[in-house]
Chains A and B, each alone.
Chain A
Amino acid sequence: MSEASRPQAGVGAALGARLRDADVSAAPAALNLLESTTAEDRQAAAALLAQVAPAALGGEAPGHVIGVTGPPGAGKSTLLSALLRAWRADGQSVAMLAVDPSSRRSGGALLGDRARIDFDPLDRDVFIRSTSAGERLGGLAWATRAAAHALAAAFDVVVIETVGVGQAETEVADVADTVAVVVQPGSGDVLQFLKSGIMEIPDVLVITKADLGQIATRTRRDVSAALRSLGSSSTSVVAVSSLAPPQGIDALVAALRAHRASSDVGERRLRARRANALADYTHEHGEHGLRALGGRHAAQQLLAAQDPQLDTAALVTALERAAGGA
């Protein structure tokens, strides 16, 4: 089995180098490593991540990291199948990380999402991995973040799919270049979440099941009005139907691409790396660790002063060094 021969740091670096060279076949082994918690594997994972850090790449990873989130039953899987087809028709390689929310701390998880996404199993340029939400309460697993960064070095598109509305898209926003929230017609709660500020304003809002006709049109109108009243003019609202014949998929692909073209990806990712580093550090060292840095605000300032090319792990090391020296 895969763990029979434990990858050493050299193996991690080699996998990282393959991803850097856009070798998508390195993805499964890379994920096995990034998800592992043994000390040895963590070292190898660090070596892997160093190979795909901005410093090693000479800039940001080229892949477009897209967060797709929405309540259960909104039609995410069908939508992702349609998006996948469109991207593949366009020659883009695609990685999908499906984050399953059902895992409980004590128990395991049933990861059934990939079955609902249609793709050719022999197509090497498609990679789908299901992960359970992980041990960290209320957050994407550390491994998911690391995986998204690593895969963005090799794949043209990296999708992170999560379930839920409210907390979910905030977490995804810390990883993704573009956040798309998927809602189905008639979901008034999403509208309420938007208006009340429980939900952050997404970059792209997708209304599924456009084939439902009037109710879909009305939902689109209501959502657009709510966004305007919140003063957000930048969010694209796209209505799609994944049923044959599909509608709106090309428009959605274009909207996602347009968002990325119009936003400062470097700035967004830098902000995300710093936020993630602070979260990781706090998770590891607790409030006590934060006090050692002079509090949260001081820690943020410290991070802001670091080299923008440092990856999350290097930023955590910087914080730890500062705390140790204090």
Chain B
Amino acid sequence: MMRTYAGHSTAKASNELYRRNLAKGQTGLSVAFDLPTQTGYDPDDELARGEVGKVGVPISHRGDMAALMDGIPLDEMNTSMTINATAAWLLALYVVAAEDQGVSQQALQGTTQNDIIKEFLARGTYAFPPAASMRLIADMIAYTVEHVPKWNPINICSYHLQEAGATPVQEIAYAMSNAIAVLDAARERVQAAHSEGGAQSNGKQEADAQELMEQVFGRISFFVNAGVRFVEEHAKLRAMSVLWEELGRERYGVREPRRLRFRYGVQVNSLGLIEAQPENNVQRIVLEALAVTLGRDARARAIQLPAWNEALGLPRPWDQQWSLRIQQVLAYETDLLEYPDIFEGSIVMDGLVSELLDGARAEMAVVAEHGGAVEAVAYMKGALVDSHRERIRRIESGEQVVVGQNRYSESEDSPLTADAEGGILVVDPAVEAEQVAALRQWRSQRDQAAVEQALDELAAAAADESASQNLMVATIAAARAGATTGEWAGTLRKVFGSYRAPTGVGEAAAAPADADLDELRGQVARLQEKLGRRPKILVGKPGLDGHSNGAEQIAVRARDAGMDVVYEGIRLTPAQIAASALQEGVHVIGLSILSGSHRELIPAVIDALRQAGVQAPVIVGGIIPEQDVAALREAGVAAVYTPKDFDITRIMQDIVELLGTDGRVPVAGTGASVNGSA
């Protein structure tokens, strides 16, 4: 199946995009939701500011879902939704949209990503605490296996773990441990549902529960990553197939070979896609696609390829078309699909696979010792932050070659990025205001009493400590009544409480000795004498963007350099950042944004800071298009860093220099030119 991950601005605009893509030969939909939808906030929530319609489509209620799927026959479509914390809600809206089309939920096909553990570990769009999140997932699995039988309720994602720095062994081990946590929770749910009648439970009920559990196992699919080391990556997928089958047989008693197959979709690596000479990302994407297609025994079921310019900003339809054409060339022009498994009997491949298996089994045992994946979130997060740091260190030192970045970096001017917008899509800032107005109108026109009653029933079902009611039922009822995304999530937040995931930075080990770092420490120590206090930096992520890998690396390196680091994790309002900066007496503020909301959020944070009386300089890192840098500088940003500034030690040196100049804001524009003035 071929898809491109798409959605932006509004339901209507995304619907048009989907119809165009389907006309071009795409065979399924992959829906990208915006961050407020992913984290359960309405567009008029304070936290949603700047994020509405940015990284995907905003869906606030059944009306939005109906518009998104308008004219697309849902009984024929296979729809993949990248949705996690609010997956139950979006599936409910999809079910209601199907009802509107006269399609029964029995006929629906598709996938909800619904993997919350990786949200805690890597992606950050969680909404509820771990136990409550796992209950929602188990409820969805138990519901869909009976009522939406062709739906894949969960896609265990190792994709984001690799983005967060996971080695192949970690990627395999954490994904499998995650799957065990989900399946164990589902098993409990399924068995409970089939033992009603208490003592009278009999052999038939047990057999039913076992059959249902085998069905559940058969419906679990994976979403993996493929990096540019494509031979090892292929071995990784073969190793995952082996482990999955083993798990099914031994832990869950699954017998039917069809259900034991390791089914996975893939999005190839974005981490390795770089900003410098971005056209080279095309060959990286092709090679990564080979990793998941080369050997038939471990071939992906669905592939989506990122666009060449992801590190620059939001891809345009043309960029996505290019990615689709890559798949079409592989599938229809090459002989890739004509042979049986081409690695069968390969000594080298078998050796690689067994090496990965040994490592993964050992790491899975460590996670099990922590009490399973849910309990081991802090451990795994710390391990990922460590791996990511090691990866960056190798790139900084040149041990790992990245063409165009740390080697062969000279380049002619690129005609691909020469247009006014720099070769990316820019979402109209008016979208947010329109979306807010439309939402208010929706609220004023619906049957308010019915909505309130549905939400009350949802709250009661969630608060029931025996968890006897499946939350999907109350969720679908609320969707039908016209409740909004923020109301659904807000109701559950009230019952379940809110949560902050571990940041992993506290667990990260101290840096190994290194000449550059030693020199930096010396500079920091001299700065400390001058300032009278240890240099103190606040690292903050404003808005809803949960991609915290970069911010974490900055925080850890600043600590290793000898600074005091205030790191508060993700999802901060400008007011929170300003209060922290003031109360903590920080010398510098580092903000990280990857969602494209920097144009709104950075000036808002700077306003809040200055109003609070904080004059400390602000630096910004993230996916910031070149043409936005001037505006940010205008707003008072001292330096801007983008993915091409991969050398974190140099960023630290810039900070030391910035603070050493005693308040004079440096003349330099981007990070690169700050380096130049060093």
Contact = CB atoms under 8 A, between A and B. Distances in A.
A122 interface: yes
Contacts of B588: 1
Contacts of A59: none
Interface in B533-590: 533-534, 555-556, 558-569, 573, 575-576, 578-580, 582-585, 587-588
Interface centre among B503, B568, B659 (most CB of A within 10 A): B568
Contacts of B561: 108
12 contacts: A1-B659, A103-B564, A107-B510, A108-B560, A108-B564, A108-B565, A114-B584, A118-B498, A122-B575, A130-B566, A243-B497, A244-B497
Contact of A1 (B494, B573, B617): B617
A59 B470 CA distance: 62
A167 B529 CA distance: 30
B500 interface: yes
Nearest to B569: A115
A112 interface: yes
A2 interface: yes
Given A1-B617, A28-B583, A38-B532, A112 B559 contact: no
A32 B579 CA distance: 15
A37 B583 contact: no
Interface centre among B531, B558, B617 (most CB of A within 10 A): B531
- Give the interface size bracket for B toward A: 35 or more
B533 A37 contact: yes
Given A108-B558, A108-B561, A114 B663 contact: no
A85 B348 CA distance: 62
B616 A1 contact: yes
A35 B559 contact: no
Given A35-B585, A107-B510, A130-B584, A4 B662 contact: yes
Interface centre among A102, A115, A243 (most CB of B within 10 A): A115
A102 B506 contact: yes
Given A32-B533, A107-B510, A115-B500, A122 B579 contact: yes
A115 B568 contact: yes
B615 interface: yes
Nearest to B538: A111
A14 interface: no
B559 A107 contact: yes
B470 to A, nearest CB: 22
Nearest to B566: A111
Contacts of A127: 583
A111 B532 CA distance: 19
Contact of A37 (B497, B532, B568, B585): B532
Contact of B585 (A102, A107, A129): A129
Given A1-B617, A32-B533, A121-B573, A27 B583 contact: yes
A244 B492 CA distance: 12
Contacts of B582: 28
Interface string A26-39: 01110110011110
A69 to B, nearest CB: 18
Given A108-B564, A121-B578, A244-B494, 9 more contacts: A1-B587, A28-B582, A28-B585, A29-B585, A108-B565, A110-B505, A110-B506, A118-B498, A130-B564
Interface in B484-531: 494-495, 497-498, 500, 503, 505-506, 510, 521, 524, 529, 531
B565 A110 contact: yes
A221 interface: no
Given A36-B532, A37-B533, A115-B500, A110 B584 contact: no
A132 B585 CA distance: 13
Contact of A108 (B531, B532, B563, B587): B563
B533 A104 contact: no
Contact of B564 (A29, A37, A109, A116): A109
A132 B659 contact: no
A31 B585 contact: yes
Interface centre among B497, B579, B587 (most CB of A within 10 A): B579
Contacts of A109: 559, 564-565
A198 to B, nearest CB: 26
A122 B198 CA distance: 53
B325 to A, nearest CB: 45
A4 B663 contact: yes
A90 interface: no
A244 B128 CA distance: 13
Interface of A: 1-4, 27-29, 31-32, 35-38, 41, 102-104, 106-112, 114-116, 118, 121-122, 127-130, 132, 243-244
A104 B510 contact: yes
A2 B575 CA distance: 20
Interface string B131-157: 000000000000000000000000000
A106 B563 CA distance: 10
Contacts of B505: 110, 112
Given A1-B617, A37-B532, A121-B575, A106 B566 contact: no
A41 B529 CA distance: 12
B500 to A, nearest CB: 6
A132 B564 contact: yes
A45 to B, nearest CB: 10
A151 B511 CA distance: 36
Interface centre among A4, A107, A108, A109 (most CB of B within 10 A): A108
B377 to A, nearest CB: 13
Interface centre among B498, B559, B561, B569 (most CB of A within 10 A): B559
Nearest to A100: B564
Contacts of A107: 510, 521, 559-560, 562
Contacts of B556: 110
B128 to A, nearest CB: 12
A2 B532 contact: no
Interface in B653-667: 659, 662-663
B568 A114 contact: yes
B615 A1 contact: yes
A7 to B, nearest CB: 10
Nearest to B664: A4
Contacts of B529: 37-38
A106 B506 CA distance: 16
Nearest to A31: B585
A129 to B, nearest CB: 6
A46 to B, nearest CB: 14
Nearest to A77: B500
Contact of A128 (B558, B562, B583, B615): B583
A116 B575 CA distance: 16
A76 to B, nearest CB: 14
Contact of B562 (A4, A108, A121): A108
B532 A244 contact: no
Given A1-B615, A3-B531, A130-B584, A111 B579 contact: no
A112 B497 contact: no
B579 A121 contact: yes
The 4 closest A-B pairs by CB, nearest first: A36-B532, A115-B568, A121-B579, A4-B663
A128 B583 CA distance: 6
A121 B542 CA distance: 14
Contacts of B559: 107-110
A156 B64 CA distance: 50
Nearest to B562: A108
A31 B495 CA distance: 38
